[in-house]
Structure 1
Amino acid sequence: MYQIDQRGWLQEARHCPSPNFNQRPPGVDIDLLVIHNISLPPGEFGGPYIQALFCNTLDCHAHPSFADLEGLHVSSHLLIDRGGECHQFVSFLERAWHAGLSEHCGRENCNDFSIGIELEGADTVPYTQAQYQQLAVVSQTLQCYYPSISSDRIVGHSDIAPGRKTDPGPAFDWSYYKTLLG
């Protein structure tokens, strides 16, 4: 089990504060965990591009696929890279900009009440054992600190934005992940 400090930062993560966040609505209960994937350039892993995107320092001329990212302001609470290292961009107490237009169980704007975790990956590329292990420990920690995040309130981005998003994709082994959660 990991530790989350009173400011909402995971002590075991590398802290990379993003400017892309705002306050959650007053009195909202954090009760949803959303699993995403990201790779920049698409299908390529490693490098500084994801952190640069979340911190608004991405050179959109560095790769042709980045042209669509010009002026985009997004973030996630956490990123788990291919080696299993955890990077935190936004305090869990704040509203990260990870879900976009979204809905879960009749509630819109999932960013208001969710925590977003990005896995460095792609829909059809298997995730690493280190990522599954880290995701399980982080998820268990979040469930301890935010008990409204029950196992049935852990979803993929595709579940809250169907037709618009596909991540974490068919390569994500939900059954294995749920087994690790216990």
Structure 2
Amino acid sequence: MVHTFRDGWHQNATHRHSSHFNERPTHEVSLLVIHNISLPAEQFGTPYINDLFMGCLDCQAHNSFKDLKGLRVSAHFVIFRDGSLHQYVSCDDRAWHAGVSEFEGRENCNDFAIGIELEGSDHQPFTEPQYQSLISLTQDIMQTYPQITPQRITGHSDIAPNRKTDPGPYFDWNYYLSHLS
């Protein structure tokens, strides 16, 4: 068996080591949450996602960033439009991606979830390289964290329905889930 994770770090990802994380209250990892992100909105290929998760976003770089000043957020992974995979937080630690959230009656999904951000938006399709990277990453996650099953993969919109809409209507759940086996 090939081990793709070491200490919660995926060996095929570019490691970024965000300081925006803390310890999980338990060692349980049992949920996978899919998000989308673009900074500025609808713009791809900028350095700003990385800057946000690394805590060095210049909030004067774009007018829409003013509300992000002082925001401390992170995801475990980001998959960019070209399919490249970056990891910001060990999967064994708690990244700050879900916010106020609930899954199957359990609150604070960050406590037990892995968060994957797809560079994208609610208004445009995701790319085939992103799907291929996401499918491969998900298979590796499911092998390493066996409590995560297809039934325990969800969108941000499903765990925070009155706050969030991502990954949005252009995310092809059927395509993604059908390729996991």
Q: TM-score interval w.r.t. the shorter chain?
A: over 0.9
The one-character-per-residue Cα deviations of 1:45-81 (angstroms, maximum 9, x if unpaired) are 0021000000010000000010010000000000000
Structure 2 counterpart of 1:135: 134
Q: Is the 8 A contact 1:133 1:180 kept in 2?
A: no
Deviations 1:68-127 (A, max 9, x none): 100000000000000000000000000000000000001000000000000000012100
Distance in structure 2 (CA, Å) of the matches to 1:49 and 1:178: 29
Structure 1 residue 181: Cα displacement: 1.0
| CA shift digits 1:1-31 (9 cap, x unpaired) | 77001x11000000011000000003x4210
CA positional deviation for 1:34:
0.1
Letter of the aligned partner of 1:100 in structure 2?
A: G
Aligned partner of residue 43 in structure 2, secondary structure? coil
1:32 alignment partner in structure 2: 31
Q: Name the count of aligned residue pairs.
A: 180
> Which residue in 1 is equivalent to 2:176?
177
Q: Percent identity?
A: 58
List gaps (5 residues or longer) in structure 1: none
Secondary structure of 1:181's counterpart equals coil
User: Structure 1 segments of 4 or more deviating over 4 A?
Assistant: none
TM-score normalised to structure 1 length: 0.97
For 1:152, the equivalent position in structure 2 comes to 151
Which amino acid is the alignment partner of residue 41 of structure 1? P
**Does the CA-based 8 Å contact 1:2-1:12 persist in structure 2?**
no
User: 1-side partners of 2:3 and 2:42: how far apart?
Assistant: 30
Task: Tell me by how many angstroms 1:136 deviates.
Answer: 0.3
Q: How do 1:60-75 and structure 2 match up within 5 A?
A: 60-75=59-74
1:30-179 alignment runs, 5 A limit: 30-179=29-178
User: Which residue is 1:3 aligned to?
Assistant: 4
- Secondary structure of 2:154's match? strand
1:19 equivalent in structure 2: 19
Aligned partner letter, 2:113:
S
